[in-house]
Amino acid sequence: MRLQKQIGKQKERRAFRVRNRVRASKRLRLTVFRSGKHIYAQIIDDEAGKTLVAASTGEKSFGDKSGSTVAAATEIGKLLAERAKGQGINEVAFDRGSFRYHGRIAALADAAREAGLDF
């Protein structure tokens, strides 16, 4: 039990550290959350405290495809960038939270960059 608490605290510290660096940039924040079954991404305006654009593999439009693959993360990255472009959002700061920039997280970020988001 003690190890689980320690790991949880380490994740909180890591996420706090990353989030503070991102917030200092004064850009809109593209935040990512990865669960075992799905991946979620949203663009947040921290000053207004509102989510401007969101996309996830849990949406009905995504269908019954598996959301826990690199291919799904790539699709979500493209979809999020398209929705952001539709609202006139071009520049964001990438907030990976407590997750390493690897696998699904990196695939989502790379796809969003290729689709036109600047970060």
CATH fold of the domain at 2-114: Nucleotidyltransferase; domain 5 (3.30.420)
In angstroms, the CA 34 to CA 56 distance is 10
Q: What is the pLDDT of residue 73?
A: 96
Going by their DSSP bridges, the two strands 92-95 and 28-34 should be labelled as parallel
| Residue 1 clears pLDDT 80, i.e. is over it | no
Q: How confident is the model at residue 17 (pLDDT cuts 50, 70, 90)?
A: very high
* 99: helix, strand or coil: coil
The DSSP annotation for 11-63 comes to HHHHHHHHHHHHHHTTSEEEEEEE-SS-EEEEEEETTTTEEEEEEETTSGGGT
Average pLDDT over residues 47-70: 90
Q: What is the pLDDT of residue 66?
A: 81
